[in-house]
Amino acid sequence: MTTLTSKFQDITKQLQQLSIWRPNERNPLLELERWREDAHQTIEQLYNKKRYEIGQVTEKHEREFLRQLARQRLQMNNIQQKIPTKPVANPSLRTFHENSIFNELQTIENDINTRLGRAEITLETLPLNCNGLVTVGLKTYLSGKPVPHCKEISFKDLPKRSARRSADEVRTAHQKWLQTKKEEENLRREYFDTRQQELANERQVFFRNTANQAAFERWKQQKRESGAFKKRKVDERRINDSIEQDIDES
């Protein structure tokens, strides 16, 4: 009888010592909040990295395109100067000259079709699957042996958990975070727009210089064909001869 009574008392003490939750200083809600902030930061860093890569690819392609375009325009100007303004009397020489120019034009046309094509920047993304990144579970710690008697544990005896933020605090923090991200996005967009404007200005300067150079080459070709340069040299020679004659007479 004594043994039965003792057993009953031990089990009663065990029941008195039971509590719903195991004392733990870790707050799963706070840990989830930290994980969310770290995940947002990781995504933001990846976004900035890929945005920078897009800018680099854009700038590199435009620079190479303009370089190839300038090269082709220069070759076209050189070919234009080779085209005779008057028919060549010798048929064999005329055929050889025309074939040579035709081959050069065909080379330029091939370069245009293979090196000066319009491009586009492609972006491939994968859906962000976070289902397996966070797992919620429940652990229970069972005691197979009777534990020494101690005073009954209640919720007030558990370590205090970090106070949860109120709905207003969460809303305020979220609005502040959105405002910060909006300002950062505005700065990035302003930089991107400024860079695009600089590239557009560079293209305008390039095309204007190319057009001026082509016009100058055409002007020289016209003067050369009209004999203006030769006439100017003759006039200068006559002036020099006249000056020398006046000196001799004096």
CA dihedral sign of residues 39, 41, 45, 51: positive
- Look up residue 106 and give its two tokens: 């065909």
Instruction: Report percent pLDDT > 90 for the chain.
Output: 5
Banded model confidence at residue 29, pLDDT cuts 50, 70, 90: confident
Question: Rounded mean pLDDT of 230-247?
Answer: 57
Instruction: Report percent pLDDT > 70 for the chain.
Output: 76
Average model confidence (pLDDT) for the chain? 76
Q: Does pLDDT of 135 surpass 50? A: yes
- Look up residue 101 and give its two tokens: 């120019």
What b/e string do you get for 89-105 counting C-beta neighbours within 10 Å, with b at 16 or more? Answer: eeeeeeeeeeeeeeeee
Instruction: State the residue for tokens 């004096």.
Output: 250
Instruction: Report the pLDDT value the prediction gives residue 156, as an integer from 0 to 100.
Output: 44
Instruction: Report the pLDDT value the prediction gives residue 72, as an integer from 0 to 100.
Output: 87
- Look up residue 88 and give its two tokens: 């060549």
- For the stretch 64-108, pLDDT in tens is 888 888 888 888 888 888 887 777 777 888 788 888 888 999 998
Instruction: Report the pLDDT value the prediction gives residue 117, as an integer from 0 to 100.
Output: 79
Banded model confidence at residue 213, pLDDT cuts 50, 70, 90: confident
Question: Rounded mean pLDDT of 218-232?
Answer: 66
- The lowest-confidence range among 92-96, 123-127, 243-247 is 243-247
- For the stretch 139-196, pLDDT in tens is 777 765 444 433 433 434 444 545 556 667 767 777 787 788 778 778 777 877 777 7
Q: Does pLDDT of 31 surpass 60? A: yes
Instruction: Report the pLDDT value the prediction gives residue 48, as an integer from 0 to 100.
Output: 92
187's CB contacts (< 8 A; 6+ apart) are none
What b/e string do you get for 218-238 counting C-beta neighbours within 10 Å, with b at 16 or more? Answer: eeeeeeeeeeeeeeeeeeeee
Question: Rounded mean pLDDT of 125-135?
Answer: 81
* Residue 48 Cα to chain centre, angstroms: 8
- State the Cα–Cα distance between residues 43 and 29, nearest whole angstrom: 21
Q: Are 24 and 164 in contact, with CB atoms under 8 Å apart?
A: no
Instruction: Report the pLDDT value the prediction gives residue 158, as an integer from 0 to 100.
Output: 41
Instruction: Report the pLDDT value the prediction gives residue 93, as an integer from 0 to 100.
Output: 80
Instruction: State the residue for tokens 């004999």.
Output: 227
- State the Cα–Cα distance between residues 227 and 232, nearest whole angstrom: 9
Question: Rounded mean pLDDT of 215-243?
Answer: 64
Instruction: Report the pLDDT value the prediction gives residue 228, as an integer from 0 to 100.
Output: 58
Instruction: Report the pLDDT value the prediction gives residue 147, as an integer from 0 to 100.
Output: 43
In this structure, what DSSP letter does residue 117 have? -
